Structure 1
């Protein structure tokens, strides 16, 4: 399977996702969160660092659940286009590639 190159928007969205997960994790250990979510610590580290810009949806759903994050709020936050705290939209465009 050939993976298409990520667009700059996808890379930026992955970076926002990683930053949001790091903030939500706070002082909790990466190892504990990863194990509770059923993912490897390396996977969580790569997502938090933005190295995996388009992680699988079940992975993000499991991490969000452990962190107590709503998937709706998570999606809205990582897709904001204004660079601020306001949410630009709450659902993906029908033709948009899902970033999770």
Structure 2
């Protein structure tokens, strides 16, 4: 199966997701967070670095739960348009 390239908006959203998770994790180790969420540390590292811009819903739900983030918070944070830009309909 060939995966289509990500759009610039998807890449940006993935970067915002990674930044949100890093901030929420704070001083907690990546290893501890990943194991508690039931994902590999490598998966968490890739998500936090923005290398996996579109992770599975269940993966994000598990990580958000461990970090006490609601899915509404995650959705709102990653879908904020970049400052200075406006959405065109």
Task: Report 1:74-85 matches (<5 A).
Answer: 74-83=74-83
CA distance in 2, matches of 1:82, 1:19: 14
- Structure scoring higher RCO (CA < 8 A, sep ≥ 6) equals 2
In the TM superposition, what whole-angstrom CA distance separates every residue of 1:41-100 from its partner, at most 9, and x where no partner exists? 00000000000000000000000000000001110110001439xxxxxxxxxxxxxxxx
What is the alpha-carbon root mean square deviation over aligned residues? 1.1
Gaps spanning 5+ residues in structure 2: where?
85-89
TM-score w.r.t. length of structure 2: 0.91
Which structure has greater helix proportion?
2
Superposed structure 1 runs of 4+ greater than 3 Å apart: none
CA distance in 1, matches of 2:76, 2:52: 19
TM-score w.r.t. length of structure 1: 0.81
CA distance in 1, matches of 2:82, 2:49: 22
How many residues are aligned here?
84
User: In the alignment, what sits opposite 1:67?
Assistant: 67
